[in-house]
Structure 1
Amino acid sequence: MIGYVTIGALDSEKAGIFYDAVFAPLGIERKLEGGGWIGYGDVGAEGEGFAASHTAICPPFDGQPARAGNGIMVAYLAKDAASVDAAHAAALANGGSDEGGPGHRPPGTPGFYAAYVRDPTGNKICVFAAV
């Protein structure tokens, strides 16, 4: 089981605006902020800071610039197709770029509805629903 994921950011403030918008339709909110770190967790999750967070946006510990990893992607579960659509639209409206618009994968096949985007640093994320 994964405890949490960190996603490197060149600009944490800009990345925070992006992730606030993308995560809102998924029921995910800021739980922690400070020192260039922003922690996100489920709305209503108990605990504080990292105890309530599953994703952290931050500058890399080694002090080098953040860069997207080729072949690395984090996928976030949405409750329905409308939430996937909303997260994708929010991503594009807040500095993200499209890597595959909302739809069933493979196309025309029910069961996996997803959208793919890159954040302002270039990290690839997926938002999906089992519909």
Structure 2
Amino acid sequence: VPLSSSHEGWTALRSAAWGGHKEAVRLLLEAGAEIDGCDSDGRTALRAAAWGGHEEILLTLLDHGAEVDRSDREGRTPLIAAAYMGHKEAVEILLNAGANLNLDTDGMTPLLLASYEGHEEVVELLTLHLSIFNCNLLIVLQM
């Protein structure tokens, strides 16, 4: 179900996710809305929910198979959006879903953006996640 609603390609699902409308998201998914449909800038419903810090919608979209690392035209992922906006719980949900901590096309990382914006709790969470990842990587490399 494409359900495009504007010249910029905003789908009904992306609009509902952006606005934090949980029931609308659920109904649209039941009606067959394309989970990773995106607007003209490549932004998905998952990225919209991450930007808005809508945790329940993030979980719903991920449960329905949304691609956690789908980036927009600028290379920005849902994790980068959540970190930039300082949504700690959203960042945690995305990390638990396996979100990648890679750079966007401008060389920005979720950690750098959260730090720049002064989101201390998000910085702590991302730093902890990076520490665990690096320890696990060292163990694998030493095998």
Could you state the TM-score of these two structures normalised by the residue count of structure 1? 0.29
Query: TM-score scaled by structure 2?
Result: 0.27
- Structure number with the higher strand fraction is 1
* Higher gyration radius (CA): 2
The higher-RCO structure (CA 8 Å, 6+ apart) is: 1
